[in-house]
A and B are shown apart, each in its own frame.
Chain A
């Protein structure tokens, strides 16, 4: 069984070299200072890794998955894939700033699983998104056990979690009991095997479809998200990914989405986040000093929701006139409160609960920062992340 069950295993893993250290440095965005209380991404800042070139590219309103090997993603390295032999975790980390005027700052590590780029910012109605199920791998089915086994690993199927919505295709005939163009929900059995259910509720309950033959040909299952595949724990944020500022406007911003229980027609609750006029490069556009509609960097979710499986509509209530923004889906992994010039905020994830945040294969790790004071352009942040796997 992968993972850690004791401190002895952690020591053994370190002795075995099952570890990876990533030293990172990123600068605050190069075009505009942050106002205290604002949150900004460090995606486009210079440093190591370098500026991303993905979040302001691609088709409008279309989901684009992000992985650590996505071209020009420029996410923080965390070592290669280790699943299904091992599971990888964040063991410790630190963040420090050499910019005296940048403190206090909350440096936050996130795993961005994908994003929707919005270029039609003059449209003020809710705009439908395109959610093509872009992750897929092949499988075989066992009619005697109803268990399916992954037979390819291109999309890292060991990341697929119970409750994930999938659709099936085949080169010839699907296993009896399964149909084309039908939503099914995964019951994860192991990292290499799964069953299928007819509903999310059945998946959670473990009620599997009875498969009566193995079908013929090669069968493929497709899903949307590369990690946190059922959407649990995923949040959304709007930010300006472009080098130019957004136009002059203060629109209400809202999402229609499907939650992690795979229930659709969920909506951002009132009071809606309000975008900043002329929001600068990297700004998470509804964060700011004061006023109604100013939030933390996560878009509020509807009551009781614990994650976002997909975004169905995106709306800015008034025209942003020019520019573009991006809505990213992410999982927060860790926070580093940086209080003082030159003093590193250090985190030991072994001795804090819940311990050792899981780093899934393909994780696209980035930083966002919450400014406690005005943060000048090119303010430098750096630190390290220690990963361990077993």
Chain B
């Protein structure tokens, strides 16, 4: 635990920090105003495909198995924190670009848009980090295109271990770009957030129990449980965005050993023509 500026400075002077560069070159023609997951985009770190495991069976996500942004090796029993991120875009088409850094925890691959029966999830494995589910959110990432307009909701176990909780009913968008967050349409869902709304008073998800399609469509999506860590915005191509979590946010998010880190982003145009790059700096005590 870092409790003040002195401890932070001492940790950095002692070399307990690492800084890594990432660079992604999305190939998908993304839609303005729809959230997009950069995990499957080419570049460094290498793509992680969310359709690479059996459908509807929970699979844990980790740096050692799946990659993601480098953040240094394990430091236990010390603790690692996010100190700084930077971001640069080479083309203005998609800007301003809001980016949310997340720890990707668990995914339920390839849920079938055309199946109107209850689709129960196999939860043989559980969350590898944030194990009580506190602060854990769900995103639905497109892994096969759809017509759009279909609706679904899911039931889940919340942060207190209460099962049978019900998410908001969301409407899928029609974006063809794989990696698009299928529920992120401001026109049809509450606020166009990437995260699917939870039942009143819930603050997180421990597991997803079942998915219910209310109307059918073609296509597949993967539900991923993530822990949002921080947000920054690339506003223009002539200046990097830097987010100093200690100075600007007043809190340095914890990065657990073996965390899989990646970005959700909200482009204002296609990302296909741009390269995104930046740094992530971590610190440990």
**Using a CB–CB distance below 8 Å, which chain A residues touch chain B?**
36-37, 39, 103-104, 106, 228, 231-234, 260, 269, 288-292, 294-296, 298, 300-307, 331-332, 335, 337, 339-340, 343, 345, 352-354, 358, 370, 372-373
**Residues of B contacting A354 with CB < 8 Å?**
8-9, 12-13
Known: A36-B275, A307-B15, A332-B19. A302 touches B73 (CB 8 A): yes
Beyond A232-B14, A303-B75, A337-B240, 18 additional contacts (C-beta under 8 Å) are A36-B275, A104-B240, A104-B277, A232-B15, A269-B73, A288-B44, A289-B43, A289-B44, A295-B70, A304-B76, A332-B19, A337-B242, A339-B88, A345-B240, A353-B8, A353-B246, A353-B247, A373-B90
Q: Say yes or no: A296 contacts B46, CB within 8 Å.
A: no
Q: Say yes or no: A337 contacts B86, CB within 8 Å.
A: yes
Q: Say yes or no: A343 contacts B21, CB within 8 Å.
A: no
**Residues of A contacting B44 with CB < 8 Å?**
37, 288-290, 294
Q: Say yes or no: A303 contacts B9, CB within 8 Å.
A: no
B23 within 8 A of A: yes
**Residues of B contacting A343 with CB < 8 Å?**
238-239
Interface size class of chain B, counting residues whose CB lies under 8 Å from the partner chain? 35 or more
Q: Say yes or no: A296 contacts B5, CB within 8 Å.
A: no
Nearest CB of chain A from residue B16's CB, rounded to whole Å: 5
Known: A300-B73, A339-B88, A353-B5. A290 touches B240 (CB 8 A): no
A332 to B13, CA, bound (A): 11
B78 within 8 A of A: yes
A–B Cβ pairs within 8 angstroms, 24 of them: A36-B275, A37-B43, A228-B15, A231-B15, A232-B13, A233-B17, A260-B14, A269-B73, A288-B44, A289-B43, A290-B42, A290-B44, A294-B44, A294-B46, A296-B21, A332-B19, A335-B19, A337-B88, A337-B240, A340-B239, A343-B239, A370-B21, A372-B277, A373-B275
B18 within 8 A of A: yes
Nearest CB of chain A from residue B130's CB, rounded to whole Å: 21
A290 to B8, CA, bound (A): 33
**Residue in A295, A339, A340, A353 whose beta carbon sits within 8 Å of that of B244 in the complex:** A353
Q: Say yes or no: B46 contacts A292, CB within 8 Å.
A: yes
Q: Say yes or no: A352 contacts B244, CB within 8 Å.
A: yes
**Residues of B contacting A298 with CB < 8 Å?**
18
**Residues of A contacting B239 with CB < 8 Å?**
339-340, 343
A354 to B239, CA, bound (A): 22
**Residues of B contacting A104 with CB < 8 Å?**
88, 90, 240, 275, 277
B214 within 8 A of A: no
Nearest 3 A-B pairs (CB), nearest first? A233-B15, A303-B73, A303-B74
**Residues of A contacting B88 with CB < 8 Å?**
104, 337, 339, 372
**Using a CB–CB distance below 8 Å, which chain B residues touch chain A?**
5, 8-9, 12-21, 23, 25, 42-44, 46, 70, 72-76, 78, 86, 88, 90, 237-240, 242, 244, 246-247, 257, 275, 277, 279, 284
Known: A106-B21, A292-B46. A339 touches B73 (CB 8 A): no
**Residues of A contacting B15 with CB < 8 Å?**
228, 231-234, 260, 306-307, 331
**Residues of A contacting B12 with CB < 8 Å?**
233, 354
A332 to B20, CA, bound (A): 12
Known: A104-B277, A303-B75, A339-B88. A291 touches B13 (CB 8 A): no
Nearest CB of chain B from residue A128's CB, rounded to whole Å: 24
**Residues of B contacting A106 with CB < 8 Å?**
21, 277, 279
| Least CB separation from A39: chain B residue | B21
A345 to B247, CA, bound (A): 20
Q: Say yes or no: B237 contacts A339, CB within 8 Å.
A: yes
A307 to B18, CA, bound (A): 10
A288 to B244, CA, bound (A): 27
Q: Say yes or no: A339 contacts B13, CB within 8 Å.
A: no
Known: A234-B15, A269-B73, A343-B238. A290 touches B43 (CB 8 A): yes
Nearest CB of chain B from residue A309's CB, rounded to whole Å: 11
A331 to B15, CA, bound (A): 9
| Least CB separation from A106: chain B residue | B21
Nearest CB of chain A from residue B22's CB, rounded to whole Å: 9
Q: Say yes or no: A304 contacts B73, CB within 8 Å.
A: yes
A340 to B88, CA, bound (A): 10
**Residues of A contacting B257 with CB < 8 Å?**
303
A233 to B16, CA, bound (A): 7
| Least CB separation from A289: chain B residue | B44
**Residue in B23, B78, B242, B247 whose beta carbon sits within 8 Å of that of A36 in the complex:** B23
**Residues of A contacting B70 with CB < 8 Å?**
295-296, 300
A306 to B18, CA, bound (A): 9
| Least CB separation from A298: chain B residue | B18
Nearest CB of chain B from residue A106's CB, rounded to whole Å: 6
| Least CB separation from A270: chain B residue | B64
**Residues of B contacting A296 with CB < 8 Å?**
19-21, 70
